[in-house]
Amino acid sequence: RKEVEQDPGPFNVPEGATVAFNCTYSNSASQSFFWYRQDCRKEPKLLMSVYSSGNEDGRFTAQLNRASQYISLLIRDSKLSDSATYLCAVEYGNKLVFGAGTILRVKS
Amino acid sequence: GAVVSQHPSRVICKSGTSVKIECRSLDFQATTMFWYRQFPKQSLMLMATSNEGSKATYEQGVEKDKFLINHASLTLSTLTVTSAHPEDSSFYICSAGDRAWQETQYFGPGTRLLVL
């Protein structure tokens, strides 16, 4: 089993749609989780950290399910500008391990 | 947020030459810096963890004699790709964290290396 797994997509959605991504991880001892956004040929940018209680930032909601070892990202009211690759990152001891990313394409 | 710079942003070199990439934290002291490599349509793969004042910790399968890392100060880490070959062509990205790096890492803009 890979350390961090994501559905590569692409997810093609219309503007205004709600879309959700999951990311599974294998290390039950991991304590820190993140979602990053990466635009084409650019570096990843931190979107949000994922807390045990879940957290929300505007149209974005992140949740953690420790029992099933996955984190999720929900995007409401999708905008064209949300089109990007979304990477999850999971702490493994003294480093972060990234998923391969999920491609989101929002179309008008 | 914190700013991390990388230089150069793009480099094209001949096979067999060495290339140095600099990573700087501009507004905070980075006790830990990470070097990643990303091939097209793949995820970031951690190459090594660089700690200020000590030797870097390399991930399995990464040749430490080929990818030389120096972290001489709290604001600068360098990665030197020695005797580069076409298969080393990739997007190299550094990230930096402060003492609480687990809270977040700040990425540099990356360096695109093309070895001819």
pLDDT in tens, A12-35: 999 999 999 999 999 999 988 999
The pLDDT, as a whole number, for residue B102 is 55
* Contact: B43, A31; criterion CB under 8 Å: no
DSSP classification of residue B84: -
A-B contacts at Cβ under 8 angstroms: 40
Q: Which residue has the tokens 């493994």?
A: A92
Taking only the tens place, the pLDDT of each residue in B64-100 is 999 999 988 889 999 999 999 999 999 999 998 765 5
- For residue B60, the model assigns a pLDDT of 92
Burial of B65 (0-12, 13-18, 19+ CB in 10 A): exposed
Query: What's the order of all strands across the beta sheet hosting A4-6?
Result: A4-6, A19-25, A70-75, A60-65, A55-57
What residues in A contact B44, CB-CB < 8 Å?
44, 87, 98
Residue B103's pLDDT is 59
Mean pLDDT for chain A overall: 93
pLDDT band at B3 (very low <50, low <70, confident <90, very high): confident
